[in-house]
Amino acid sequence: MDEAVADFQDNSSLMIPGFGPGQPTNLLAALWRTKATGLTTISNGVGFESADPDQKGLGDLVMAGRVKKVIAAFTASTRPSRTGTAEALVANGTLEAELVPQGTLAERIRSGGAGIPAFYTPAGVGTETATGKEHRDFNGRTYVMETALFADYAFIRAHKADTAGNLVFRRAARNFNPIMAMAAKNVIVEVEQPIVEAGEIDPDQVHVPGIYVTTLVRIPVGGVLHINRTTGMAIRQTA
Amino acid sequence: MAEEKQPLTRDQMAAILAQNMGYGWIVNLGIGIPTNVSNFLTPDQEIVLHSENGVIGYGRLAGEGEEDPDIVNASATQPVTLNPGAAIVHHADSFAVIRRGMIDVTCLGAYQVAPDGSFANWKTTNEPWNNLGGIGGAMDLASCAKQIYLAMEHTTRDGEPRLLEKCTLPVTAPSGVTLVVTNLAVVAVRDGKFILEQHAPGYTAEEIQAVTGAPLEVSPDFRRVAV
């Protein structure tokens, strides 16, 4: 894992998938162990700090001041009783945040990976998120223009991969993974299962073609495979 | 003799939401009380549940030993089961489903709602726009689903009304709410009015009005909830 992120440049932008499952937990922990700083991150949420060194992730990088800007659908806790990671830092001006409706976030990423510079969506029209953005009417309805996102890096979590870089995701761990894998210059993938020879994955079953993938690394024995949502404990790779 | 006052539990609120689903609807359930709705749907309703993370056709919450770490609902943490015929898509396609207008109703939690169908659920303060908040998929859902149902507490912890003439918090959508289920009442939102349809056990229309920040029109069919 450490080798996979060794060349990571300061001040880079980074796509981080995951919606519960599907997070590149091991790559993030490896990034935490580097000195990389000045990041701009694109993710669904900002998350929380972790006490487990193997689960160090975006929340920890943010709190350590290594992130300059977060682009996310959740930048603050939805529960008044629980203060989110980013809130205090944004309030005191040390962290920039860009709050985006989740479907708009997904489409901005998809567009970035599809060569589309901008698009119109009805989401957010009439709310603060659309303030100052171009509006346009189509077929009697008002839409707001949103622009594409493309990053220097994407960290990806795949279930299966072959030596050609073709990726297969499992169940809801797919979430942002395929679109982020298409919307970054350097695509680094952690894989749950042993990496198989090219040809062993049926072409019809491939979710992301290998042409997008820069680096593949299998999650090693002892690496984090899943996280128990009730206890927060890591479930580890055994073989 | 008057029935003892009994505010509705979160499960009862979820059960009422489930009672208001039409046959064969495609339904999205948001974080909080709505995610519990999947436990109260009956097979004859033939509902297809859609979740923001791209799961189409999930079922009830997974029981002990049934959990799959890769199958969760919109909470991103609660394991759910998949029904036969389920399908998985990625996040952008999941919201394509939403923007295309496939969702018959989205059930969401909320802090405030007004008779014009506007509601607020992404920001707990009224500070100027500062890019802090928890929007999630609510704005996409609210602007594209055919109907919005809300599940919420009738008042704040301090007893202030959440059903108001006008939302004081920043809105998630300027219109679209058709039904509000609270711990005290079931309120339809129609023609710019709140219509009081049902009450929790023991509560009168006057008592519900007293903790509501906008006029309630009492339905001719006003009745006790059936849960």
Q: Using one digit for the tens of pLDDT, what is the confidence trace for B83-117?
A: 999 999 999 999 999 999 999 999 999 999 999 99
What percent of chain B shows pLDDT beyond 70? 100
Q: Write down the pLDDT at residue B127.
A: 84
pLDDT at A84: 65
Task: Tell me if residue B36 falls in helix, strand or coil.
Answer: helix
- Whether the per-residue pLDDT at B158 is higher than 90: the answer is yes
State yes or no: pLDDT of B218 exceeds 80: yes
Judge residue A113's burial from the number of C-beta atoms within 10 Å of its C-beta, 0-12 exposed, 13-18 middle, 19 or more buried: buried
Task: Tell if the CB–CB gap between A123 and B140 is shorter than 8 Å.
Answer: yes
B95 CB within 8 Å of a chain A CB: yes
Residues 6+ apart with CB under 8 A from B73: B29, B35, B38, B51, B53, B55, B58, B61, B80
Q: Does B135 touch chain A (CB under 8 A)?
A: yes
Domain assignment present for residue B81? The answer is yes
- In DSSP terms, B150 is beta-bridged to B108, B180
Domain boundaries, chain A: 3-116+150-236
Domain-located, residue B218 = yes
Whether the CB of B124 is below 8 Å from some CB of chain A: the reply is yes
Query: Would the pLDDT of B225 be above 90?
Result: yes
Contact A219, A237 (CB under 8 A): yes
Touching check for A172 and chain B: CB below 8 Å?
yes
Fold of A3-116+150-236: Glutaconate Coenzyme A-transferase (3.40.1080)
Alpha helix (H) residue ranges in chain B: 10-19, 91-99, 138-144, 205-210
Q: Indicate the average pLDDT of chain B.
A: 96
What angle (nearest 5°) sits at the alpha carbon of residue A134, between those of residues A130 and A140?
90
Percent of chain A with pLDDT over 70: 97
Distance (Å) from the C-alpha of residue B82 to the closest C-alpha of chain A?
A: 10
Q: How confident is the model at residue A76 (pLDDT cuts 50, 70, 90)?
A: confident
Q: Which residues contact A169 (CB under 8 A, 6 or more apart)?
A: A22, A157, A158, A159, A177, A178, A207
Residues of chain B with pLDDT > 90: what percent? Answer: 92
Summarised one tens digit per residue, pLDDT across range B142-155 is 999 999 999 999 99
Question: B137 exposed, middle or buried (CB, 10 Å; 0-12, 13-18, 19+)?
Answer: buried
Give the mean pLDDT of chain A: 95
pLDDT mean over A82-107? 89
Per the structure, the count of domains in chain B is: 1
Please report, in angstroms and rounded to a whole number, the separation of the first and last CA atoms in chain A. 16
Q: How many residues does chain A have?
A: 239
8 Å CB contact of A102 and B135: yes
**Cβ contact A126–B173 (<8 Å):** yes
Interface contact A171-B92, CB threshold 8 A = no
A122 to B72: CB separation less than 8 angstroms, yes or no: no
For residue range A110-165, list pLDDT tens digits in order. 999 999 999 999 999 999 999 999 999 999 999 999 999 999 999 999 999 999 99
Q: Write down the pLDDT at residue A85.
A: 65
Angle of CA points B49, B52, B55, to nearest 5°: 50
In-domain check, residue B56: yes
pLDDT of A80 over the 80 cut? no
Please indicate if any CB of chain B lies within 8 Å of the CB of A175.
yes
Query: What's the mean pLDDT in B149-165?
Result: 97
Q: How far apart are CA A125 and CA A216, in angstroms?
A: 40
What local confidence, expressed as pLDDT, does residue A206 receive? 98
Reading the block at residue A192, the tokens are: 């749950």
Give residue B13's pLDDT band: very low, low, confident or very high (50, 70, 90): very high
Where does the pLDDT of residue A47 fall: very low under 50, low under 70, confident under 90, or very high at 90 and above? confident
Provide the pLDDT for residue A77: 74
How does residue B167 score in pLDDT terms, banded at 50, 70 and 90? Answer: very high
Tokens 């920040």 belong to residue:
B213
Residue to substitute from B88, B103, B140, B167, interface A, most A β-carbons within 10 A: B140
CATH number at residue B101: 3.40.1080.10
The token pair at B149 is: 């149902």
Is residue A174's pLDDT more than 90? yes
Phi-psi category of A74—alpha, beta or left, where left has phi over 0 and alpha has psi -120 to 50? beta
Site from B61, B66, B70, B89 to mutate, A interface, most A CB atoms within 10 angstroms: B70
Going A65 to A71 to A73 to A76, the CA torsion angle's sign is positive
Is A20 in the B-facing interface, judged by CB distances under 8 Å?
yes
Q: Looking at residue A229, what is its pLDDT? A: 81
Q: Quick one: DSSP state of residue A178?
A: H
pLDDT tens, residue by residue, A25-42:
999 999 999 999 999 999
B52 touching A (Cβ < 8 Å): yes
* Contact between B211 and B156 (Cβ < 8 Å): no
Domain-embedded: residue B71? yes
Q: Which of A127, A207, A226 sits opposite B170 (nearest CB)?
A: A127
Cα A3 to Cα B121: distance, rounded to the nearest angstrom: 43
Residue B3 lies in a domain: no
Distance from CA of B133 to the nearest CA of A (A): 5
Residue A132: the pLDDT is 95
Mean pLDDT confidence for B46-72: 95
Supply the pLDDT for residue A34: 97
CA closest to A207 among chain B residues: B90
**Closest residue on chain B to A82 (Cα):** B124
In a domain, B119, yes or no: yes
**What pLDDT does residue B126 have?**
84
Q: Is B191 domain-assigned?
A: yes
Is the distance from CB of B126 to CB of B169 less than 8 angstroms?
Answer: yes
Average pLDDT over residues A60-75: 96
Contact A229 B77 (CB under 8 A): yes
- B166 contacts: CB under 8 Å, gap ≥ 6: B114, B116, B118
**Cβ neighbours, 10 Å, residue A78:** 20
* B1 lies in some domain: no
- Residue B53 is part of which domain span? 10-125+134-224
